[in-house]
Homo-oligomer: A and B are copies of this chain.
Amino acid sequence: MADEKKQVEQITSMSEDFAQWYTDIVSKAELMDYSSVKGCMIIKPAGYAIWELIQKQLDAMFKETGVENVYMPMFIPESLLEKEKDHVEGFAPEVAWVTYGGLEPLEERLCVRPTSETLFCDFYKNIIQSYRDLPKVYNQWCSVVRWEKTTRPFLRSREFLWQEGHTAHATAEEAQERTEQMLNLYADFCEQVLAIPVVRGRKTDKEKFAGAEATYTIEALMHDGKALQSGTSHNFGDGFAKAFGIQYTDKENKLQYVHQTSWGMTTRLIGAIIMVHGDDSGLKLPPRVAPVQAVIVPIMQNKEGVLEKAAELKDRLVKAGIRVKVDDTDKRPGFKFSEQEMRGFPVRIECGPKDIEAGTCVVVRRDTHEKLTVAIDAIETEIPRILDDIQKNMLETARAHRDSHTYDATEYGEFCETINNKPGFVRAMWCGDRACEDKIKEDTGATSRCMPFAQEKLSDKCICCGKPAKALVYWGRAY
């Protein structure tokens, strides 16, 4: 009894302290643990299983577009990192340096990869000679290291898991096409698999990736109204190609530079799932990334036939392709219910002697808390249908939240007030000058999240300086 209450009581409510609520969830849902290595976390089974489902589905989408996986070394020699000027300036201050191999000091320092553009360029320089060798559309799944000063589980840590795609193309057009293709793939993945709606757009020069010609982003809105950059896709033009000398002979036998892209998504997505879908009962997982989609809780499990029926249900659901488990521990049902909610399993199936006699079971949805009576005979068709419905409903709920927290502003006073008092995205026009971005950041703490693909004209003037506007921008405070 004490234990039962403890678990629920210890979650801080979202409205009281969102940051503490987040920390409570990652720990109570057993997604991660802190390690003895400052700023690095341990991803526990419940968290890693989500990442495996993300990997599996995202990787399948990649492969459908012709992506091939490779593995590059985790170390980058200092001289290689330095080859592209903007890139090294962006990353050198936050990398970890290896200076000793065994007992010997190294002749040249190696950094632990913060990202692998330089390694891929060095590789492409050697394997690309002719137009026949193009395109190269490679990706790797690995961990990267960035020596962050302040860290938060899944959102910002010194080491994190990700995938990084790196491509090389014959033409600028093809590179641009791939850049947008991957951004759209990321957006579709977030919406269809994670049930997270995103705004697709382009970063301003201030916010773009070190060394990129253009960076595209998908931006999601968390429950507290802060934005989370959830995936980025960069077009490098031929900048890296020139720095690294990556040239090919075209059909007319002329030497040309390749055009490159890179794109990545990370374990940060697990943070997005928590902050978009979670509530005061805990985590709420979209069925497509729920390691357990249905948990069967036998009621009065010592009565004859109850555990047998639970096992039968489980077998039938496994055969129907559902990820299911039976909780037959000696905990009380109420505790098991709380635990299902805390861990975010999309449905729980309650089944006791009376249900069995009636040929039914009780299905409780994690998203709506709705209780449904389902005929045991129909379980193989009903549970998948309910899971589909949950998946759709979670996306709609998240979209409604995002839309009702997206505001338009045409006057600077109104803009600042909205940012300060109404957490969410604020859409406003911008002149294109860095100075206005800096001033907005200083006045409100908000940054430009993106210039959306779907441009509109809210007014003719920059929200900040009043000069002619060049683009509609989504502004917001961000993680």
Contact = CB atoms under 8 A, between A and B. Distances in A.
A310 interface: no
A2 interface: no
Interface stretch (A137-145, A232-240, A245-253): A137-145
A280 to B, nearest CB: 26
Interface residues of A, number: 52
A33 interface: yes
Contacts of A75: 37, 40, 96, 159
Interface in A108-161: 109-110, 112, 119, 122-123, 126-127, 138, 142-143, 145, 147, 158-159, 161
A100 interface: yes
A126 B30 CA distance: 13
A358 interface: no
B70 A123 contact: no
Interface string A330-357: 0000000000000000000000000000
Interface string A77-94: 100100000000000011
Interface in A53-85: 68-77, 80
Contact of A42 (B48, B73, B98, B109): B73
A45 interface: yes
A1 interface: no
A407 interface: no
A94 B102 CA distance: 4
Nearest to A73: B40
A112 B98 contact: yes
B72 A45 contact: no
Given A48-B69, A49-B69, 6 more contacts: A35-B72, A45-B138, A71-B161, A96-B102, A97-B99, A97-B100
A136 to B, nearest CB: 10
A36 to B, nearest CB: 5
Nearest to A75: B37
Nearest to A46: B68
B71 A48 contact: yes
Contact of A159 (B52, B73, B99, B161): B73
Contacts of A80: 36
A454 interface: no
How many monomers of this chain does the complex have?
2
A314 to B, nearest CB: 16
Contacts of A112: 74, 98, 112
A43 interface: yes
Given A99-B100, A159-B74, A123 B93 contact: no
B100 A37 contact: no
Contact of A96 (B41, B43, B98, B159): B98
Nearest to A101: B147
B68 A43 contact: no
A33 B138 CA distance: 14
A416 interface: no
Contacts of A122: 35-36
Contacts of A40: 73-75
Interface string A205-233: 00000000000000000000000000000
A44 interface: yes
Nearest to A149: B102
Nearest to A41: B73
A119 B42 CA distance: 10
A14 interface: no
Contacts of A102: 93-96, 147
A196 to B, nearest CB: 22
Contacts of A378: none
Contact of A119 (B35, B138, B142): B35
Given A35-B122, A35-B123, A37-B110, A70 B98 contact: no
Given A33-B123, A35-B123, A123-B35, A145 B74 contact: yes
A44 B70 contact: yes
Contacts of A49: 68-69
18 contacts: A35-B72, A36-B119, A37-B76, A37-B77, A37-B110, A41-B73, A45-B69, A45-B70, A48-B68, A48-B70, A48-B71, A49-B69, A71-B143, A74-B74, A74-B159, A97-B98, A99-B99, A112-B112
A61 to B, nearest CB: 16
Contacts of A72: 35, 42
B35 A73 contact: yes
